[in-house]
A and B are shown apart, each in its own frame.
Chain A
């Protein structure tokens, strides 16, 4: 960096560039929020799905699983688990209920959360909801 490129030029690039791109991010985010109704499956956002999201969060499911590819990588992707389980909420509920309290010797196992029937139904509805979001075709196949 020679003398023709001065510190004040560098400073102006920083302030101008950052401000410009921050405003662009805000603008694009506003546009995205406008377009979301076409993609985010909100017409199916029932109180049950909202409760399901709460149960999901209260039990820190993201601490082992990914959901649309975000979270921990210790347990399977659940964004499409509804599809993987043959579009069956009963299969999802059955799996959650069946977890042994002391785990499986030598293997990874989901804890037993002792959920109520209402919570189980809500979580299953939430996972069904997630599977119906338009994710640009992700994941590549049903295995997640």
Chain B
């Protein structure tokens, strides 16, 4: 580790993994509620479990992005962080505020929480993924401003690279588009339209810049490929991401009361949305094939390659599967959406954060470059258990979705929602089983941090060039 202030990344990563565990536990609870409807009712109703599941996902990914930024920026800028103290202060503010919000969800009925936190004054609550009390939302904005200030000041005084520029642009976009969460018009159609300016423009827009920057950084480190080559790829990938993703917002505008021209715009641009993800896969494999050094952290390379493949499958293939308007007419808001959401989030954002953690944690723990082989093998078990079970979760939900669409919307005698849910119960049981394997994989992943052994080092012969 070249710069002392990179150490602030460590608590961010640890908190991220802790919240990840919480996310998965609540995911398993929800999976159970799908088949045993009264499981934990009325103590933890489904909507509460879901808020905890999705909000923890967002928050832990944000911790992961911030930790990654704090790790990358000093090394890229070749200077210490502007203020490590501010970084640590914001860490505690964000963690405590996040924890209080989750406790609020679990401790009192949502309507009580809305009343307690003054939702009458500025109503922003009760909209999917933006359920946080308004006061929490204001806190998130303040933390984001402090974070951007700290990173911005660091960037100003150090070397400016393409990677940090793209990363910063992504983070600024993340903060700016979050401001739309404060816009909650009385007209439900307007509300829905601009709700997507947070949700879509985050995950299919600016977050992809953050993803690209982190992937590029780790690939430079583990392959030793020339920065010029990697930066050119990065530009092309994020260019395609925004060119397709911005108007791709249209695929959410089909059936919520907006004009018919979105049926065309949304279909055409979202059909191109897999392109940047396909390029990302090519990019990762290309760079690893061209590598000029055999980095001792093999598992970080595995995570980086996995991100490319799984993001392409989840965001690209499963997204395309139901994105054309005539198909989406039947699949909109069904289990197909859930299948796509799971694999896309895991492949793109969960895996990129775990890539960074895998790369950086050994150094943050005082090692030269990598953990012991034994520890890496354990982590690889975690990788495969989580990744393969996520593939199965996606396949089972897709099976459930196809049946649901057929029985409820396509057949000559459409059946009511709850009857259909009973008929596809088997797929929900299988999904729950796959979810438990995922939890097992996560436990194995965490165990890998505690596996000792002699650390893997570069061998002298490999240290130069492998070709």
Contact = CB atoms under 8 A, between A and B. Distances in A.
Interface of A: 1, 5-7, 10-11, 13-14, 17-18, 21-22, 24-25, 28-29, 31-33, 35-36, 39-42, 45, 50, 53-54, 56-64, 66-77, 101-109, 111, 113, 126, 129-130, 133-144
Q: Give the interface SS of chain B, mostly helix, strand, loop or mixed.
A: helix
B47 A72 contact: yes
B462 interface: no
B46 A108 contact: yes
Nearest to A20: B243
A70 B130 CA distance: 13
* Category for how many chain B residues contact A: 35 or more
Contacts of A103: 37-38, 41-42
B244 to A, nearest CB: 8
Contacts of A139: 255, 332, 409
Given A63-B50, A135-B255, A144-B417, A10 B232 contact: yes
B273 interface: no
Interface stretch (B95-103, B143-151, B214-222, B258-266): B258-266
7 contacts: A25-B247, A58-B114, A68-B333, A70-B256, A111-B41, A140-B409, A143-B415
A121 to B, nearest CB: 17
B416 A143 contact: yes
A54 B36 contact: no
Contacts of A29: 193
Contact of B243 (A17, A61, A104, A140): A17
Residue among A11, A136, A137 with the most chain B CB within 10 A?
A136
A141 B411 CA distance: 10
Contact of B238 (A14, A58, A62, A137): A14
Interface stretch (B74-82, B86-94, B334-342, B351-359): B334-342
B110 A143 contact: no
Residue among B34, B246, B247, B338 with the most chain A CB within 10 A?
B246
Residue among B187, B261, B265, B335 with the most chain A CB within 10 A?
B187
A54 B111 contact: no
B131 A60 contact: yes
B255 A143 contact: no
Contacts of B111: 58-60, 113
B362 interface: no
A56 B126 contact: yes
Counting from the closest, the 4 A-B pairs by CB-CB distance are A63-B47, A57-B126, A69-B333, A108-B37
B257 A141 contact: no
Nearest to A15: B239
B246 A62 contact: no
A71 B228 CA distance: 43
A64 B47 contact: yes
Contacts of B48: 60, 63
